[in-house]
Amino acid sequence: MTVPMIEQPADPDTRSPDSPVVVVDGVWKRFGATDVVQGLSFEIRAGEILGFLGPNGAGKTTTMRMILDIIRPDAGSISVFGRPPGVEHRSRVGYLPEERGLYRDVPVLDTLTYFGALRGLSSAEARSRATRLLTEVGLGDDLRKKAVELSRGMHQKAQVIATVLHEPDLLIVDEPMQGLDPVNAEMLKGLLVAQRDRGAAVVMSTHDMADAQTLCDRILLIDGGRRLLYGSVKDIQSAFSDGAVEVRGSGVSVDAEHYRSVAHAAIADGGVRFLLRDGVPAQELFRELATDGAAVERFEVSAPTLNEIFLRTVAGDERASAVG
């Protein structure tokens, strides 16, 4: 006689290091008559930055709040560190919401100490870490200042520090660059990369496709609560490659009819951007250019930017289904 196996939730301490930090599986959430999130599934892994993209109202913030257990899904499941999200994860999770601030009439050091204590640090440890980190970002002389006395840039620095004070294993940042001045934006980018490099899983919601392209290892694009794209940046760009070729040099014609392999040509960035006919490889255009006697300095098969992919996908593109 065999004893039936009872499936138990994995203990976080015995999980494989490769196990996803967060697993979102078929999650639905409805507010009133609107399905804000519709059967969404994805994973977040340790040591990666997942770009969470989508237009306004796509359901990004709602999804992040469900991962944080601020709100509960109506259907589907979410696991964080192998267990349902809950208060016991508070010491391992950091969150920088889109709507963020500090207590106006409280010294910034006291606010950060309180936030650190809420994340499971002892008050002494939280105060010590906050003092060190605030000093590192140049706020060492402003520790006792109330938030209302700080400049906006100082506010932003303090908010970022509050998010990583307890060195979380999962960092969720919602529109982190919004409202940041360039100096603080660069500081935050460096900090996100540093968090990833020390092994933390980072989820970043953003509307800035350039940031997403630069920082993210994988992206998840949603709209209307549904997943449209999901995968590594490279794979998605490859899937969306339209055969465009950028050529720089002398003797390169801008007339599309000059080359048999070209469907469309246009001047771009000091060179010419060719869109090849369906099924024609880039080598064919290179051969034609050589035959034509053009002195080619640069020949690059261009991939679409994330911004182009975003626009195409949200507007509707059949290639999205290949990586969605």
> E strands along the chain, which residues?
22-31, 34-44, 49-53, 75-80, 93-96, 170-174, 201-205, 218-223, 226-232, 244-250, 262-268, 271-276, 295-301
Binding track, positions 54-83, relative to another protein; x by CB under 8 A: -----------x--xxx-x----------x
Work out how close the CB of 71 gets to another protein at its nearest, in angstroms, rounded to a whole number.
Answer: 8
Tell me the window of 116-124, 184-192, 202-210, 254-262 that interacts with another protein (CB under 8 A): 116-124
For 10, 23, 90, the CA distances from 93, given in Å and listed in that order, are: 18, 15, 5
When binding is defined by CB under 8 A, the residue of 30, 39, 103, 137 that contacts another protein is: 103
> Is 119 near another protein (CB under 8 A)?
yes
By CB under 8 A, tell whether 152 contacts another protein. no
CB of 302 to another protein, least distance (A): 40
Q: With 0-12 CB in 10 A as exposed, 13-18 as middle and 19+ as buried, what is 280?
A: middle
Residue type (1 letter), 96: L
Distance CA 93, CA 166 (A): 9
Closer residue to another protein (CB): 173 or 303: 173
Smallest distance, another protein to C-beta of residue 80, A: 12
User: In the set 21, 27, 102, 200, which binds another protein (CB under 8 A)?
Assistant: 102
Q: Which CB atom, from 6 or from 267, has the smaller least distance to another protein? A: 6
When binding is defined by CB under 8 A, the residue of 97, 176, 243, 271 that contacts another protein is 97
| C-beta closer to another protein: residue 20 or 85 | 85
In whole angstroms, give the CA distance from residue 298 to residue 268.
13
Core vs surface per residue 65-93: b (16+ CB within 10 A) or e: bbbbbeeebeebebbbbbeebeeebbbbb
Contacts with another protein, residue ranges (CB under 8 A): 8-9, 11, 32, 65, 68-70, 72, 83, 86-88, 90, 93, 95-97, 99-104, 106, 111, 114-115, 117-119, 147, 162
